[in-house]
Structure 1
């Protein structure tokens, strides 16, 4: 190997190490914001923050997640808040229902419907600079929207 190539590899290794530290700091910032908002959570196997919203008056719960990773778009750092609402096969989400979800997404003030694998999610793309109060509000929106859709799709079933 040439010295130039060794230097290039060293620089790349240094950059990789330098970018790994801020990513961990970003994740810690999510925990701090959730703690500040008084929300209980656990970190799942994917590194996402998993919360369970309890609608005790309805006898229901709803899972909602804050992504443990961020993405950068045109210099903006974005994180996802997402909540599962149904299963494509089990709840018959196809054709007409998918078009209705697409149309509904166009009417949403915050968030949209997305299908990931066999699961329908309500997803809100959030600037990672969202405060604890803003993040808490977005989690409420995602959980309530997804749970309402789950009731519509599955009736009394409360799988998600």
Structure 2
């Protein structure tokens, strides 16, 4: 005689057999540098390190990401630090030209559109120290938050 398992029991057995999705681990070298500076972070689904800057005096926050992977340019591993400032549809031609001019004046970083968003992006050799990485993150946060204020008024979306 063949016994049949109820549907719920069968489903439970199948769910137990499926391996759980592992959380992205993130690059250990970035973890070490962030932790050396006592920076709190989360790792997003892409493996990027997400840091929230709090500007308590202004009552604002700003997201900054450190890429969880590098790209090699001329034999040099390069890592991105990036901070969203606005949705790209907030830009008209005049604002886009202003961003190009601002990118020209910037000593570190430039404006880029990625998907539907405007980001301030800093590309660094991956050999930077923990202190240098934090300094780049500070710059990205400040520049992006100032541009968010400029483009959207008081809204604090990022």
Evaluate the alpha carbon distance shift between residue 122 and residue 54 of structure 1 in structure 2; reply closer, same or farther with a 3 A threshold.
same
Greater Rg, structure 1 or structure 2? 2
Q: Specify the alignment match of 1:98 in structure 2.
A: 96
User: TM-score, structure 1 length as denominator?
Assistant: 0.82
Gaps of 5+ in 1: 1-23
1:1-160 equivalences under 5 Å are: 27-89=27-89, 92-160=90-158
RMSD value, Cα: 1.5
1:26 shift after superposition: 8.4
User: TM-score, structure 2 length as denominator?
Assistant: 0.83
2:98 alignment partner, SS class:
helix
Evaluate the alpha carbon distance shift between residue 57 and residue 51 of structure 1 in structure 2; reply closer, same or farther with a 3 A threshold.
same
Distance in structure 2 (CA, Å) of the matches to 1:57 and 1:69: 33
Structure 1 runs of 4+ aligned residues shifted over 3 Å read none
Gaps of 5+ in 2: 1-23
The aligned length equals 135
